[in-house]
Amino acid sequence: PAAHTVLNLREYETIARGLLDPIFYDYVAGGARDEVTVRANEHGFARLGLLPRMLRGSDTRDLGVTLFGTPSSLPVFLSPTAFHRLAHPDGELATARAAAKAGVIMTVGMASTTSVADVAAAARQAVPDRAPALWFQLYLQPDMAVTRALVRRAEAAGCTALLVTVDSPVLGIHERNKRNGFNDLPPGVVCENLRDLTGSEPGHIRQIAMSADLGWDHLDRLREMTSLPVVLKGVLHPEDGRIAVAHGVDGLLLSNHGGRQLDTAPATVDLLPDMLAAVAGRVPVLLDGGVRRGTDVVKALALGATAVGIGRPVVYGLAAGGEDGVRHVVDLLREEIDHTLALCGATAPRDLTPDLVRTVPAVPR
Ligand code: FNR
């Protein structure tokens, strides 16, 4: 079906499922072990209701926010997801063009199948009159020279923040991938950001190292090597939120990696109030996991999140329609958020307050 006939983000999943190699679909849709957390993220939103206010809205609404100095037309950004060239031949280039034209921030993954320099060039070409709104996602590498080389690549490409993923001391176990034997990229598709890093022979692609030996001191060393804002992705315990702020992070992305790391980690939206209390307004708290509707975005913002990220819906939009598919995913959310704000008597994200959110029994689908 043409992109304009698709009505919502969940329909994009259905369409992508029909188009993608089932092994790659399972890689995207799946998560760790029993996939309890994958389901919990969406269920967390289903157990919240919105209680609207009346007779106080406006026909002019402003959905824009500024995140760590980067303007965004929506309180929504693209969370990092790996391997876009497995979803569509244009891969991350298509995603970047769509995000740039929609005026939202794309997070380029360390595991992207296009180099961050090429992604940035595509974004710049798509909107020549604006600076590209790109963040870079980094797994801290135990060899800090490798970490530094990656940071320099992100800086040189013009990325305006680093999202440092800390929930992956070891890789999550995805039983779907084991069952399907998915453990390698097809020939010709590689993690381009890891090509020719620090003294290997030309063309060599480094592996992403995961290490349980990483500690807060590694974060301190990263903090010293760049002036870019550093946002920690994947802290869930409120105590870690406090420690992160003490170590000078610029923000937190409350994320359980879409249920792909520790299975049975709680839904992110359920953890949001405790994390906000721990951080006490000292840095912005973003959230991702299970956001599929404008009402989900509004619930998270009303509870106190500054913005929310979307992961799988971007990959599904990309699979279904390349650049146009990703653009449509973002535009669908834009329309839904705007409509929800109107129905709630709000003119901008700042009008949303926690009293609009009520815990309700989840209504069966
Ligand atoms: C991810 N995510 C992710 N996160 C990260 O920090 N580095 C990465 O390389 C990836 N790769 C990745 C691949 C795929 C296919 C998915 C689905 C997810 C996690 C991602 O940034 C985000 O936290 C979740 O996707 C958010 O949940 P939803 O929106 O997918 O429910």
Please give the average per-residue pLDDT across 200-228, as a whole number.
96
Q: Which atom of ligand 1 is nearest to the CA of 42?
A: 31
ipTM: 1.00
Other beta carbons less than 10 A from residue 130's beta carbon? 13
**Predicted pLDDT of residue 305:** 99
Residue nearest to atom 16 of ligand 1 (CA): 81
Residue nearest to atom 2 of ligand 1 (CA): 81
Please give the average per-residue pLDDT across 83-102, as a whole number.
98
**Predicted pLDDT of residue 4:** 55
Q: Which atom of ligand 1 is nearest to the CA of 110?
A: 9
Contacts of 124 (CB under 8 A, 6+ apart): 100, 132, 158
Per-residue confidence band for 201, with pLDDT thresholds at 50, 70 and 90: confident
Instruction: Report pLDDT digits (tens) over 1-37.
Output: 454 589 999 999 999 999 999 999 999 999 999 999 9
By most ligand atoms within 8 Å of CB, the mutation choice from 10, 180, 260 for ligand 1 is 260
SS3 for the chain, per residue? Answer: CCHHHCCCHHHHHHHHHHHCCHHHHHHHHCCCCCCHHHHHHHHHHHCEEECCCCCCCCCCCCCCEEECCEEECCCEEECCCCCHHHCCCCHHHHHHHHHHHHCCCEEECCCCCCCHHHHHHHHHHHCCCCCCCEEEEEECCCCHHHHHHHHHHHHHHCCCCEEEECCCCCCCCCHHHHHHCCCCCCCCCCCHHHECCCCCCCCCECCCCCCCCCCHHHHHHHHHHCCCCEEEECCCCHHHHHHHHHCCCCEEEECCHHHCCCCCCCCHHHHHHHHHHHHCCCCCEEEECCCCCHHHHHHHHHHCCCCEEECHHHHHHHHHHHHHHHHHHHHHHHHHHHHHHHHCCCCCHHHCCHHHEEECCCCCC
How high is the mean pLDDT of the chain?
A: 97
DSSP-derived pairing of the beta strands 230-233 and 308-310: unpaired
The reply to whether 257 belongs to the active site is yes
Residue nearest to atom 13 of ligand 1 (CA): 81
Instruction: Report pLDDT digits (tens) over 235-280.
Output: 999 999 999 999 999 999 999 999 999 999 999 999 999 999 999 9
The pTM (predicted TM-score) of the whole model is 0.98
Find the 221 Cα to ligand 1 centroid distance in Å.
25
- Which residue in the list 88, 174, 218, 257 is annotated as catalytic? 257
**Predicted pLDDT of residue 364:** 87
**Predicted pLDDT of residue 365:** 83
Find the 19 Cα to ligand 1 centroid distance in Å.
20
